[in-house]
Chain A
Amino acid sequence: MLDVDVSARRAAFHLDAAFRSDAPIVALFGRSGAGKTTLVHAIAGIVRPERGRIVIGERVLFDSARGIDLPPEKRRVGYVFQDALLFPHLSVRANLAYGEALTPAAERFVDSERVLALLGIGGLLERRPASLSGGERQRVAIGRALMASPRLLLLDEPLASLDGARKAEILAYIELLRDELRLPMVYVSHALEEVTRLADRVVVVADGRVVAEGGAAEALSRAEVGAIAGRFDEGAVIDARVAAHDAAFEITRLAFADGELVVPNVDALPGESVRVRVRSRDVSLALAAPAGVSIQNILEARVETISHEFGAIVDVGLKVGETGLTARVTRKAVSELALAPGARVFALVKAVSIDRRSVGFA
């Protein structure tokens, strides 16, 4: 259990945030400048809060009331920075060994061979950091933090300086670590896609405060998230389960509490829990179930809310049974269909709009 409750004043910025989590990965989600990094700096011991308490399990790292403030080197909190920050004067091997050598034998629980294998960095040992690609550098940085046998791993926007393909690669490695090492992680990001994919628990941070906290589906479907993620990525997150694979068409059926979604093949076994992000802009509305359309997902829904009715674009809040979904349509469409709260509609979602990056494994 990670329990954080801190206040820190930094120049013109005031952080006053509390959250707790016992999930494998908790995401701190928010815009840059929201205070996410200050928060993880406080956990790592790089920033000293004016007031508060930081506890990992039974271990108190910081408690202003009791005068406890462990220095970073005594906290056993691994930190992976956005730009890796490998030691440029040391080989990859020496970088990896740096923290491991400083860990008392009794505290070591991470097997270095296993970390090398999990991260696929065994072949890089004699290289210098300057000769590594961005993705390799970040994998070595994660390995370096892991080999110090931390009790908590902080990942501070670890993908922010990587391109699309490298991002996907590192995400897959982080998923692997989560499943294999049973090491709690705090994942800092402003990318909804990464958070949906990785985190079981999400803490939404804005202006130095926690504005939403909870399970991923719950926290990420909140209105506050839209403002942070940007209109493009706004949407609902649905908890579902893999129902069946259709090998012939290479599609997967995902069952959620109140219906089913058809999506392109998801690499998971039937019965596994997943999170699906459905962007508002990918949801269309119809008054009757259309026939002869290519759209695979036609869900009967009830209109709950209609957002501000000026400008061209309107967000229509829907309930499919008890599951929330949002459709982004034109004001013209709302007027033509005479949509109002309580109306019965059909929500149409193209299967291909839900790609691999929209699905996360719980």
Chain B
Amino acid sequence: MPTHDELQALALSLKVAAAGLAASLPPAIAIAFVLARKDFRGKTLFDAIVHLPLVLPPVVVGYALLILMGTQGPVGSVLEKLGIVLVFRWTGAALAAAIMGFPLLVRAIRLSIEAVDPRLELAARTLGASKTRVFFTVTLPLSMAGLATGALLAFARALGEFGATITFVSNIPGETRTLPLAIYTFTQVPGGEAAALRLSVLSVLLSLGALAVSEWMIRRRHA
């Protein structure tokens, strides 16, 4: 049976991943809509920046966060005056997880928005709906399958986040020590192999579960 510390790491992982996903959904939907439906100068560059976390070493993202969001950093110092500190906190871990999962989320939502017939949106407008209402009553509901798939992928990615997290918020038990960090820690101490193995099995089960749910949702969409 997993120990208290191990369960704590699992619970923290789920909390961090859920918070990261919740925080990234609104901007991801907005950016996906802009990328799917608008044309503007610099769209390619913007698209590349959104996808950057997918190709950068996670440590680089974590280091960038540390520089920007640290209490001495240009953004972090402002946030600190507002009473918000992210560095070495679980909220910082959530931010790191959100950024790493962001490209997956945006990509899935963008694809499903692109698949919505724009003439359905026009039909809604001739029926008296404003652009905003059309988005929430037609575009978004019709993108729900892609949104759910993207959310699940981003959630799974957040559960596995290691590099950016440990660089940005360190490895503090009960605060920032998520499942991957706990596994890493157990492998570094003598006699930790059994615990590392248990947590690894737990991770595999969690990931398999997430993939199974996403597969089920894709299939239901095509049914």
Contact = CB atoms under 8 A, between A and B. Distances in A.
Interface string B95-123: 00000000000000000000001011011
Contact of A145 (B126, B138, B142, B144): B126
A49 B215 CA distance: 47
A255 B10 CA distance: 89
B129 A44 contact: no
Given A73-B130, A88-B142, A89-B142, A98 B124 contact: yes
Contacts of B137: 98
Interface in A77-117: 77-79, 81, 85, 87-89, 98-99, 102-103
B191 interface: no
A91 to B, nearest CB: 13
Nearest to A78: B126
Interface residues of A, number: 23
Given A81-B119, A85-B119, A85-B120, A44 B142 contact: no
B37 interface: no
B120 A87 contact: yes
Contact of A148 (B122, B128, B141): B128
B125 interface: yes
Interface residues of B, number: 18
Contact of A103 (B123, B124, B126, B128): B128
B138 A73 contact: no
A79 B123 contact: yes
Nearest to B138: A87
A102 B124 CA distance: 10
A188 to B, nearest CB: 14
Given A87-B138, A88-B142, A89-B142, A144 B127 contact: yes
B117 A85 contact: yes
A77 to B, nearest CB: 6
Given A87-B124, A87-B138, A89-B142, A73 B119 contact: no
B129 A102 contact: yes
A102 B128 contact: yes
A122 interface: no
Given A85-B117, A85-B119, A87-B120, A44 B138 contact: no
Contacts of A88: 120, 142
Interface string A106-133: 0000000000000000000000000000
A85 B116 CA distance: 11
A172 to B, nearest CB: 24
A121 B137 CA distance: 23
A79 B126 contact: yes
Contacts of A78: 126-127
A340 interface: no
A46 B131 CA distance: 12
Nearest to B137: A98
Contacts, number: 56
Nearest to A103: B128
Contacts of B129: 73, 98, 102
A72 interface: yes
B117 A72 contact: no
Contacts of B138: 87
Contacts of A321: none
A215 to B, nearest CB: 29
Contacts of A71: 125, 130
A85 B125 CA distance: 12
A98 B137 CA distance: 9
Contacts of A46: 122, 125-126
Contacts of B141: 89
A255 to B, nearest CB: 43
A63 B144 CA distance: 39
B105 to A, nearest CB: 21
Residue of B127, B137, B144 contacting most chain A CB atoms (<10 Å): B127
Nearest to A101: B128
Contact of B125 (A73, A89, A103, A144): A73
B126 A44 contact: yes
Contact of A72 (B126, B133, B142, B144): B126
Contacts of A103: 128
Contacts of B127: 73, 78, 98-99, 102, 144-145, 148
Nearest to A148: B127
Nearest to A44: B126
B187 to A, nearest CB: 48
A263 B137 CA distance: 52
Interface of B: 117, 119-120, 122-130, 133, 137-138, 141-142, 144
Given A44-B126, A73-B128, A99-B128, 4 more contacts: A71-B125, A72-B126, A89-B142, A102-B133
29 contacts: A44-B126, A46-B125, A46-B126, A71-B125, A71-B130, A72-B122, A72-B125, A72-B126, A73-B125, A73-B126, A73-B127, A73-B129, A75-B126, A76-B128, A79-B126, A81-B123, A85-B117, A85-B119, A85-B120, A87-B124, A87-B138, A89-B141, A89-B142, A98-B127, A99-B127, A99-B128, A102-B128, A148-B127, A148-B128
Q: What are the nearest 3 A-B pairs in CB distance? A: A99-B127, A102-B128, A72-B125
Interface of A: 44-46, 71-73, 75-79, 81, 85, 87-89, 98-99, 102-103, 144-145, 148
